[in-house]
Copies of this chain bind each other. A is one copy, B any other.
Amino acid sequence: MSETLARPTGLRADAARNRARLLEVARRHHSQTGQLPLNAIAAEAGVGIGTAYRHFPSQQSLVEALAMDALDRLVGAVKQAIAVEDPARALRAMVTTAYEHLCDDAALTALLAGGTFACADAAAVAGGLFADVEILLRRSRQSGALRAEVGVDDLRRLLCGLSAAATAGPAPLGNDRGRYVEVLLGGLRP
């Protein structure tokens, strides 16, 4: 019943406001420093530390809450890619959109790079995503658009690593980052 959820329902108005504030501050911290110090985030959000822990009993649950919206969008984009008839084009669409989503949302990258889940709903959504991707990969493989040995988990790792390569460092790539996904796409062909 009172299981931790990345996207809770039926929050009281004030609780929802606090949650939103916490997420907002946390997002800034995470994207800027890569860290999620709950004490500082709570203070900056003008919220008691206990409240922060009530909403996010672990850092992982906070990461999942941060990533939830982006995860939803990614799921939608992948479903759109699956709808493309030509397997090669579908694969390209899926990889490209996943790459863009990961580059745009550090929490999503952290969540998928970790591969573990604290919140049941996040795990469920991610599981659906992986299942969708699996379908697409199988089609791509059968049509000869994808190397045989690349599975869902490989793609997860490759995409996370690639977005890290594009995003990390003192001078993260901006508009230019599209080049990297072309390298990956080229490499995925048999």
Tell me the A residues contacting B by CB distance below 8 Å. 1-2, 43, 46, 113-116, 147, 149-150, 154, 157-158, 160-166, 168-171, 173, 179-180, 182-189
Contacts and interface: CB of A to CB of B under 8 A. Distances in A.
A51 B96 CA distance: 50
**A contacts with B: majority SS:** helix
A185 B188 CA distance: 10
A-B CB proximity, top 8 nearest: A161-B165, A187-B187, A183-B187, A186-B187, A161-B161, A157-B165, A161-B164, A115-B169
Contacts of A185: 187
A29 B115 CA distance: 23
A186 B157 CA distance: 17
